[in-house]
Amino acid sequence: MSQSHRESLTKPDGLFPVGIATAHAIVLPIGREFFNIRRSMRILLTGIAGFIGARTASLLLSRGHEVVGVDNMNDYYDVRLKQHRLQDLARESGMDNPVDGFSAFNSGRLSYHPIDVESYAALEPLFADGFDAIINLAARAGVRYSMENPFVYLNTNTKGVLNLVELARKNGVGKLVQASTSSLYAGQQMPFHEDLPVNTPISPYAASKKAAEAIAYTYHHLYGLDVSILRYFTVFGPAGRPDMSPIRFIRWVDEGTPITLYGDGTQSRDFTYIDDIAEGTILALKPLGYEVINLGGGNEPVTINAFIQRIEGHLGKKAQIDHKPFHKADMMDTSAAIDKARRLLDWSPKVDVWDGLKRTIDWYLAQPWMRDITL
């Protein structure tokens, strides 16, 4: 994006664009004029090698957008899975040669930079050509590990957001889609609505995400940054994170390894399929002001016991279960109210949990290298 193009989108005060490009036809009234924002976008997507990041990037590329991706390729889980996702994206963008995930590349509509969002100095040069929007999916995930290393969670999940919104302010980027979490609803009455007071996080991970939401709101209030906060609910699907139960349980049942299960299995989750999450993330690029929106299954939550039983049925194998005490940083149940997503984004999940589980198992069985991924 040229400097003149950037300036043509900004308010008279030069802070943020009056409209943000989306792949959907949205016309905003601006005084006496109308601003048509149906066009291709140039998007900074952080965490591009991650589970949600890679799928979101794939959908953006398929719809003609330009994606500038960053990821620090940290080893919280096996980087080979992140490399696999990046290689798939590179092929989708027209590259023939494999990528290793540790070197920058540019295929035209997709570029990748091995950058950590904790580094303001490393991020700053990326903004030279401008962006229409930022989708921030870079995060340190995992409730239990956040108790072991809370500092890295604060640095990535909170300081990283501050770096991005400050660079947005300085460079006239008017839209932020910020990933958040259903973990903030601990102790609240289900189904979880976005207006609940989420002031009692029970893990450093949840606390860092609450802080990220607050920082984003501050920049909306002070500088007019248009912000969509998305609280994701138990995302699963092909190429999913190996530290989460769906991939772990499939692998353990398949190879006959006992499942480590914290609690008695009656705890439940509002599982949400990855394609639906990626679609909702892209829809949230529309101008909204500042909104917090749940993206979840919106159905009756599924117990972990029922989830395991379905895996047993698909694989034709019986699970061995090693029960451990329920972890105090875990939530007993989650259930998303998604009326707001339907109203603001015209979004609702299309893939139910059992169809999504079958797709995930089929993908896993077709990927023999997944047997070697460290869980």
Q: Which residues contact 343 (CB under 8 A, 6 or more apart)?
A: none
Question: Quick count: other Cβ atoms within 10 Å of Cβ 220?
Answer: 19
Extended strands (E) in 47-161: 66-70, 105-106, 110-113, 133-136
Q: How far apart are CA 88 and CA 99, in angstroms?
A: 9
Q: Which of 181, 186, 211, 209 is nearest to 196 (CA)?
A: 186
Q: How far apart are CA 79 and CA 100, in angstroms?
A: 10
**DSSP 8-state symbol, 158:** I
Kindly report which listed range (5-9, 63-67, 94-98, 331-335) carries the lowest average pLDDT score.
5-9
The tokens for 364 are: 């896993």
Share of the chain above pLDDT 70, in %: 90
Q: Within 13 Å and on the Cβ side, how many CA atoms surround 225?
A: 32
pLDDT for 71 = 98
Cis? peptide before 17, omega within 30° of 0 = no
Alpha-carbon distances of 17 from 11, 29, 178, rounded to whole Å? 6, 13, 18
Sign of CA dihedral 98, 118, 194, 28: negative
Q: Helices 353-365 and 304-315 sit at what angle, rounded to 10 degrees? A: 50
Active site residues: 205
pLDDT (mean) for 185-207: 94
Domain 3-239+271-299+335-353 has CATH 3.40.50.720: yes
| Residue-wise burial string across 164-186, b where 16 or more C-beta atoms lie within 10 A, e elsewhere | bbbbbbebbbbbbbbbbbbbbbb
The pTM score is 0.90
Provide the residue ranges of all domains of the chain, joining segments of one domain with +. 3-239+271-299+335-353
pLDDT for 101 = 86
- Mean pLDDT computed over every residue of the chain: 90
Q: Which of 126, 129, 120, 185 is nearest to 333 (CA)?
A: 185
Kindly report which listed range (138-152, 183-197, 220-234) carries the lowest average pLDDT score.
138-152
CB 181 within 8 Å of CB 231: yes
Confidence check: pLDDT of 6 > 70: no
Sign of CA dihedral 69, 72, 73, 74: negative
pLDDT (mean) for 330-351: 96
Kindly report which listed range (67-71, 105-109, 315-319) carries the lowest average pLDDT score.
105-109
Q: Helices 204-223 and 160-171 sit at what angle, rounded to 10 degrees? A: 20
Rounded CA Rg of the chain: 20
The tens digit of pLDDT for each residue in 251-286 reads 999 999 999 999 999 999 999 999 999 999 999 999
55 membership: H or E segment, kind and range: helix 51-62
Q: How far apart are CA 19 and CA 9, in angstroms?
A: 7
3-state secondary structure 207-261: HHHHHHHHHHHHHHHHHCCEEEEEEECCEECCCCCCCCHHHHHHHHHHHCCCEEE
105 bridge partner residues: 112
The tens digit of pLDDT for each residue in 16-51 reads 443 333 333 333 332 222 223 347 999 999 999 999
The tens digit of pLDDT for each residue in 201-243 reads 989 999 999 999 999 999 999 999 999 999 999 999 999 999 9
Q: How far apart are CA 303 and CA 158, in angstroms?
A: 32
pLDDT for 289 = 98
Q: How far apart are CA 54 and CA 89, in angstroms?
A: 7
Give CA angle at 140 (260, 193), nearest 5°: 85
